[in-house]
Amino acid sequence: MVGLDAVLPAMLRALGSPLPDDVAGDPALPPARQAVLLLVDGLGRELLDAHAADAPFLAGLADAGPLQVGFPSSTPISVTSLGTGLPPGAHGTLGVRFRVDDVLLDALTWTRGTQDLRERLVPERVQPRPTVFERTDVACTVVSDRAFRESGLTRSGLRGATYRGVGSFGDLAAEVVAAPRGLVYAYHADLDQLGHLHGPGSLAWRIQLRVIDHFVGMLAADLPPGTLLAVTGDHGMVEVDRRYDADTHPDLRAAEPLVGGDPRARLLYCRPGTVDDVRAAWTTTLGTDALVVGKDEVLDQGWFGPVDGAVRARVPDLVVAMRGTAAVVRTVDEPVLARLPGQHGSTTDAERLVPLLVRPADADD
């Protein structure tokens, strides 16, 4: 299945400016003079299908997907794959929280607790591979929340484009429409936030989907002639109803593994000599609610895609992929996240499949 990492190279091909090492293939997008990609955080394929009545404009667009996002199916992994055109094993962002140089880095905030790690773990060194924007001579613009302009995630996965900071739908649309001709990537977060807070498919989530649908319709009408518009997501979401607490459950605390990842995809870094004991404890405790996989199996089965040598030390000793609607929370270390009904990160189609909705450039141009 085509991955999210293939989208920006495909859009450059549609502009007639493929990357030097690009291999033409899916997704095949129609030619255009300008290309705009809107990423709606949390827009999963199954969720959109289930609530198509709330999004008639989006549901009426041709779907060049579905696309499969990388593992874990969470924002920092997907955004970095999108921006670099690479799978997680190549760009090295392996989780919401993953170990870099013996530090458990939060890739969303680029922090450890309250400590800003952008000087200690320089984003351009943590993720040194060039982005798609750095590899093309096409004018590239990123339109996203102004708070993310200098974030570690932006510097890691989206550097090389002109950044336009925004705060609402109004200036998001205005900056997209006014961007120089070329490749435009725009991001909006509210659907994901409401899915986390109220659950995917909740009334609040559905109303937000209606707002997004109306916004995309207006944006499409305002774009310059000759513009290809595509809409995708970075992951889907499920509503969890069973929680195991890694901070208080004695069997999950045994041998004191360093617990990274997020509630649907835990990454465990174990002390020497404890991997087998930790695996046995987590497997027994979680039962059919999880698949607990060792490092060698993860590498052999390509969970992160091909893994570069420099990234290998970041691969956890154990991956815990949740099944069904269960989650492993941390009520002490992640108290807010632990309470949220909407979660994502694991390997289910509900979490990993996203659409690629396409509105071709005006055929009359």
- The reply to whether 123 and 272 lie within a common domain is no
Q: Examine the domain organization and report whether 14 and 94 are in the same domain.
A: yes
Nearest to 84 by CA among 152, 165, 159, 192: 159
Nearest C-alpha neighbor of 88 from the set 111, 110, 68: 68
pTM: 0.96
Residue at 257 is within a domain: yes
Same domain, 234 and 244: no
User: What is the share, in percent, of the chain residues with pLDDT greater than 70?
Assistant: 99
Query: Tokens in use for 329?
Result: 């929370």
- The answer to whether residue 332 is domain-embedded is yes
What CATH number did the domain enclosing 209 receive? 3.40.720.10
Structural domain of residue 64, as residue ranges? 4-238+349-359
Residues 158 and 183 in one domain: yes
Report the alpha-carbon distance of residue 233 to residue 196 in Å, rounded. 15
Q: What is the DSSP letter of 99?
A: E
Whether residues 248 and 336 share a domain: the answer is yes
Query: What is the spatial distance between Cα 72 and Cα 346, in angstroms, rounded to a whole number?
Result: 6
Residues 353 and 217 occupy one common structural domain? yes
Based on the fold, state whether residues 82 and 217 are members of the same structural domain: yes
DSSP per residue, 61-89: SEE---EE--SS-SHHHHHHHHHHT--HH
Domain count within the chain: 2
65 occurs within a structural domain: yes
114 occurs within a structural domain: yes
Per the domain annotation, does 43 fall within a domain? yes
Quickly count: other Cβ atoms within 10 Å of residue 341's Cβ: 18
Residues 202 and 319 in one domain: no
Domain-embedded: residue 301 = yes
pLDDT greater than 70 at residue 184: yes
Residue 23 has pLDDT above 90, yes or no: no
Say yes or no: 163 and 297 in one domain: no
Q: Are residues 85 and 218 in the same domain?
A: yes
Q: Within this chain, do residues 276 and 217 fall inside the same structural domain, yes or no?
A: no
Look at residue 365 and tell me if it is in a domain. Answer: no
Looking at the fold, whether 165 and 145 belong to one and the same domain comes out as yes
Per-residue model confidence as pLDDT tens digits over 122-164: 999 999 999 999 999 999 999 999 999 999 999 999 999 999 9
The whole-number pLDDT of residue 363 equals 39
Q: Which residues contact 51 (CB under 8 A, 6 or more apart)?
A: 201, 206, 209
CATH number of the domain at 268, please: 3.30.1360.180
Instruction: Give residue-wise pLDDT tens across range 297-337.
Output: 999 999 999 999 999 999 999 999 999 999 999 999 999 99
* Band of pLDDT at residue 188, cut at 50, 70 and 90: very high
Structural domain contains residue 90: yes
